[in-house]
Amino acid sequence: MPPGKFVTFEGIEGAGKTTHLDHLCRYLDERGFHYLLTREPGGTAFGEEIRVVLLHPSGAPRHPMGELLLYLADRVQHLDQVIRPALAQGIHVLCDRYHDATRAYQGFARGVAPELIDRLASLLEILTPDLTVVFEVDVMLGLQRARKRNRRDGQEMQGRFEKEDPEFHGKVLEGYRALARQEPGRFRFVDTHGDFQEAQNRVRSIVESFLRN
């Protein structure tokens, strides 16, 4: 049986990843695709515990390296327990954020040296996705959407990264663009400024054709 394909979804805060993934999964279900939807941080019981620590908005200040190592601890567990076994069984894995988030947030925005992140990733045998879809939105619009969503969902407090200033998120977005320039074959960008359905149609077409071929 051929291994499953590994597709990751990335973007800045409020770009619409989670909402688009929700719609995409319903579309794939209707077409009988066999896939697993997961996320980072999280995706395993241990990962969900790490997630609470990582995203706590008022947690103690932390060294960027400590934060990096926690994201990697989550990823190693996730790869071992969920992602690799599913791919080996021929199941496609769709993951809401993954290692490119580490490279963009901890690397480009927090300033951890990219070579160090790459060395650790290589030592830990962090798998490279087959396809990465990046949702693009203007930083201020993304933050507005994320804050509106938090109010709607009764989360009055902003998340740890939503509290960062727009300059930080601008660096994250630039980081994703720089990563795509390094590996143009793996990345696809979806503009989410305009009509939701138009963007959703583009996501469906990218992912469906990739999974079928």
Residue ranges in contact with ligand T5A by CB under 6 A = 11, 13-19, 40-41, 55, 71, 96-97, 101-102, 105-106, 145-146, 149, 159, 161, 192, 196
With respect to ligand T5A, which residue has the nearer C-beta, 22 or 183?
A: 22
- Which among 8, 19, 182 has a CA at the least distance from the CA of 108? 182
Query: What three-state secondary structure class fits 10?
Result: strand
Least CB distance from residue 48 to ligand T5A, whole Å? 11
- Beta bridge partner(s), residue 135: 11, 190
Least CB distance from residue 82 to ligand T5A, whole Å? 14
Residue nearest to ligand T5A (CB): 16
Least CB distance from residue 131 to ligand T5A, whole Å? 17
The first and second tokens of residue 158, run together, are 């902003």
Distance between CA atoms of residues 200 and 55, nearest Å:
28
The first and second tokens of residue 213, run together, are 């071929």
Q: How many residues does the chain have?
A: 213
With respect to ligand T5A, which residue has the nearer C-beta, 67 or 86?
A: 67
Least CB distance from residue 74 to ligand T5A, whole Å? 7
- Beta bridge partner(s), residue 96: 9, 39
